[in-house]
Amino acid sequence: MENANSLFWEVSFGAFLFVTVFLAGGAAYLTGRAIARAWQPNLQLAAYIVLLTAATRFIHFALFGGSLLSVQYYIADLIVLLIFAFVGKRITRARQMSTQYNFKYARTGLLGWRRTDGQEA
């Protein structure tokens, strides 16, 4: 595309920020939470995010005139959404481990937990 601006965004930074980070990033975060609550594996989360990335690329194409079948921007969007999804899953899993198994695990910050008998989880 002749007006490609960067390695990560194609049409404008505002479109990237709005569609990929705010809309799709929020959906990816909530998908990670849902996968964690259902105790599903990471591979299933990655499969959902691949589909969400395809929908995100379609929104860029339909609303902002971006290219639909660009591997470079698909991978850039995929990386951003995978980060949001796995952070959402990890935050939820840390909360689950410290509340459901509070006799064995204690929360250590936003993303982690530790064993209460002194061993690392």
- On whether the CB atoms of residues 88 and 56 are closer than 8 A, the answer is no
Q: Percent of the chain, pLDDT > 70?
A: 91
* Helix and strand counts by DSSP (H, E) for the chain: 4, 2
Position 120 scores a pLDDT of 56
Q: Which residues pair with 114 in a beta bridge?
A: 106
Position 2 scores a pLDDT of 44
Whole-model pTM?
0.84
> Which parts of the chain register pLDDT below 70?
1-5, 7, 118-121
